[in-house]
């Protein structure tokens, strides 16, 4: 059995509750109900949704998990990170209260241990939704152990005590997810470093915190720990953070990073690490051709993911995979037609909500589709995402560069929050909403929002894209005043103004003069 459980540190009442739900120490694997309509390997979001959905539709389902039910999202990803980010945002709100007429005479004192305890308590309170008991109560046979394919109808489950249970299946789903993997950095093995899988076990705030990688995880944690009071050094090979996002949006976030005091170590190449005095870590890089050395107390590696294919024995069932994960077609089907996959193990979209909707496709295609009839396609999904910095960046659809590469001609509409009343009043007026439409039409093909609550706002645009509602329709929907979402409606007005040709403007002018007697 993997050592994931060891990372539930400290072993306090909250982590004990979490463990009791997602990997009960006294759990006894059930007697198999053979054969199963569906055997699911992995109890992260993709596996849980697949298992629950299939069982709810009357299928006999077995669910195998070797580590913690809930997967990365509950245990070492979305849930704990957002708990930490919320505490950091509160600290920043208090720190920046003076312009609002709120004075904090003694400054901001952060109790990091208490903030992390709060996170653990809330994570544990959420965990019953992903628990072994809940899924067993749904009629699913829950097995803890390593699942491995034997042939086209058998999966073997091996527990840490060496006991082995064969499960016979008609269809199977690989939902084993992915894990943090470190890049080849010289000397990395000589120091104790953190990944997202160990970061949330911290109980003491690092005085000097090094983070390698300016993507979503690295950026979110850099800002959070800076707001807690760490001196943060963010090492990035490129010349700006969040390189996959809209460059204008990333620039807005980067400006806030500078305000938060994050040391942005751009153009960091030829990295070497090693031990320093008093348990610290020495980080050496080349920046602009010049050597640079930084001493940190903790080092977070926030780049690299590896698919969890080890131990699955995929070769036995001729399932193709590579360093990026399991190969699937548009129907989430592997190279073995009886075996499907969903979630981080096979998707370029490493998001909980993407895994959720891919699992729904698997249920339909594995259990109900007959030949080509009734099948659902992953390419039909419209998948938004958000990075939870302050401000947040949220995106859906095509970026401008992607549209050009795909040969899609677009019009771009931008509404800055500097011209949105609620944003001005909130003191959050340096972001924007940017929407791309097919040229000459209001059909939305992509959008980016940079705002404090961008992750919530992007859903309106996603709904419009899924429902085929263009910018003109958004303009006709009344938005409450004052809200930041009014920025989206203003973009609809921008689009409608482009529809006024010289002739239509002339006709409208004549009608106006007739109505007012001019």
Positions at the binding site for FAD: 82, 147, 344
| 26 CB burial (10 A radius; 0-12, 13-18, 19+) | exposed
For residue 443, CA distances in Å to 40, 166, 461 come to: 39, 52, 11
Lookup: tokens for 17: 């509750």
The runs of H, that is alpha helices, within 167-240 are 196-199, 216-228
Lookup: tokens for 513: 């003069």
498's CB contacts (< 8 A; 6+ apart) are: 411
Contact 360, 414 (CB under 8 A): no
DSSP string over 103-147: --TT-----HHHHHHHHHHHHHHHGGGG-HHHHHHTT-EEEESEE
> How far out from the chain centre does Cα 61 lie?
27
8-state DSSP, 416: E
CA pair distance 110, 91, nearest whole angstrom: 7
Give per-residue burial for 216-237: e unless 16+ CB within 10 Å, then b.
Answer: bbbbbbbbbbbbbbbbbbbbbb
CA pair distance 236, 287, nearest whole angstrom: 10
Peptide bond preceding 32 in cis form (omega within 30 of 0): no
201's CB contacts (< 8 A; 6+ apart) are: 7, 8, 9, 10
Binding site residue list: 82, 147, 213-220, 304, 344
Nearest to 38 by CA among 57, 62, 65, 64: 62
Backbone angles phi, psi at 265, to 5 degrees: -95, 75
End-to-end CA distance of the chain: 84
Binding site residue list for NAD(+): 213-220, 304
Q: CB-side exposure of 44: number of CA atoms within 13 Å?
A: 31
| 150 CB burial (10 A radius; 0-12, 13-18, 19+) | middle
Nearest to 281 by CA among 188, 352, 147, 346: 188
């Amino acid at each position: 059995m993997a050592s994931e459980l060891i990372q539930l540190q400290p072993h306090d009442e909250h982590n004990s509750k979490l463990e009791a739900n997602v990997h009960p120490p006294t759990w006894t694997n059930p007697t198999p109900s053979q054969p199963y309509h569906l055997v699911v390997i992995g109890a992260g979001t993709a596996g849980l949704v697949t298992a629950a959905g299939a069982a709810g539709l009357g299928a006999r389902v077995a669910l195998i998990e070797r580590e913690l039910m809930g997967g990365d999202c509950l245990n070492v990803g979305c849930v704990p990170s957002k708990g930490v980010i919320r505490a950091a945002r509160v600290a920043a709100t208090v720190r920046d209260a003076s312009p609002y007429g709120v004075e904090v005479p003694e400054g901001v004192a952060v109790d990091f241990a208490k903030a992390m305890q709060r996170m653990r308590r809330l994570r544990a309170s959420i965990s019953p939704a992903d628990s072994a008991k809940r899924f067993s109560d749904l009629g699913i046979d829950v097995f803890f152990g390593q699942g491995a394919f034997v042939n086209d109808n058998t999966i073997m489950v091996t527990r840490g005590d060496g006991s082995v249970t064969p499960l016979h299946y008609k269809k199977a789903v690989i939902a084993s997810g992915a894990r943090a993997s470190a890049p080849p950095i010289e000397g990395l093995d000589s120091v104790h470093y953190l990944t997202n899988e160990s970061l949330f076990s911290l109980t003491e705030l690092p005085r000097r915190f090094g983070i390698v990688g300016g993507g979503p995880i690295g950026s979110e944690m850099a800002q959070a720990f800076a707001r807690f009071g760490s001196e943060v050094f963010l090492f990035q090979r490129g010349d700006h953070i969040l390189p996959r996002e809209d460059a204008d949006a990333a620039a807005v976030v980067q400006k806030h990073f500078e305000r938060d005091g994050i040391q942005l170590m751009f153009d960091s190449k030829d990295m070497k690490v090693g031990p320093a005095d008093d348990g610290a870590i020495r980080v050496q890089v080349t920046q602009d051709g010049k050597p640079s050395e930084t001493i940190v107390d903790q080092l977070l590696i926030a780049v690299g993911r590896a698919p969890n294919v080890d131990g699955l024995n995929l070769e036995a069932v001729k399932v193709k995979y590579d360093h990026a994960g399991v190969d699937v077609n548009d129907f989430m089907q592997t190279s073995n037609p009886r075996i499907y996959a969903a979630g981080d193990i096979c998707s370029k979209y490493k998001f909980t909500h993407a895994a959720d909707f891919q699992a729904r496709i698997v249920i339909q295609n594995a259990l109900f589709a007959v030949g080509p009839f009734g099948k659902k396609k992953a390419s039909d999904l419209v998948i938004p995402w958000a990075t939870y910095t302050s401000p947040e960046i949220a995106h859906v659809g095509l970026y401008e560069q992607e549209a050009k590469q795909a040969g899609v001609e677009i019009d771009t509409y931008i509404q800055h929050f500097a011209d949105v009343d609620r944003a001005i009043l909130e003191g959050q007026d340096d972001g924007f909403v940017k929407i791309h439409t097919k040229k000459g039409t209001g059909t939305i093909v992509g959008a980016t929002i940079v705002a404090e609550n961008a992750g919530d706002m992007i859903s309106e645009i996603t709904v419009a894209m899924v429902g085929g509602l263009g910018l003109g329709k958004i303009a006709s929907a009344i938005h409450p005043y004052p809200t930041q979402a009014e920025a989206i409606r203003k973009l609809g007005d921008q689009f409608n103004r482009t529809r006024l040709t010289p002739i239509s403007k002339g006709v409208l002018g004549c009608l106006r003069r007739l109505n007012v007697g001019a």
